[in-house]
Amino acid sequence: MMDIRNRNLAEVAQADDFIVSDKLISLLLTQVSENKVLNSVFADLFNPEGSEIYLYPITDFVQTGMPVNFYTVVESARRQGKTAIGYRLMKLAHQAEAAYGVVLNPEKTQAISFSSADKVILLAED
């Protein structure tokens, strides 16, 4: 989405997969200006041959219905050659005020019980 003023239209349509590009670019430039090392990370993410962001079933990484912390998810993903950066709780998928269930860079020690419908957000090369 090129114009942040159109964000309300996306919310009315209940679109949960749009990106406000000006906002994203501003955040990216701020991160790189504060930490030059991040430039190579972003270069890999935006390179067509580099890592991509995927949503995988949480069941590929941890058992559901029992509390686990995000460290457990990160370690399970690492063993599969992937980098866990967050998760999506599908019970909140239609709630804009809850970021559609998306949690990036979650508190690593907090226990959470995932359902079998939930997703883990990963950086991976597939």
Give residue-wise pLDDT tens across range 101-118: 999 999 999 999 999 999
**Per-residue model confidence (pLDDT) at position 10:** 54
Q: pLDDT per residue over 61-72, tens digit each?
A: 999 999 999 999
- Domain check: are 56 and 102 in the same one? yes
- Domain check: are 90 and 74 in the same one? yes
C-alpha 46, offset from chain centre: 15
The domain containing residue 113 runs over which residues? 51-126
CA distances from 121 to 6, 18, 42, 74 (A): 26, 16, 16, 10
CA 106, CA 103: separation in Å to the nearest integer?
A: 6
Dihedral of the alpha carbons of 20, 114, 119, 100, in degrees to the nearest 10: -20
- Domain check: are 61 and 116 in the same one? yes
- Domain check: are 55 and 43 in the same one? no
Q: How many domains are contained in the chain? A: 2
Q: Of 82, 80, 60, 73, which is closest to residue 108 (Cα–Cα)? A: 73
Looking at the chain, the whole-number percentage of residues with pLDDT higher than 90 is 59
- Domain check: are 1 and 58 in the same one? no
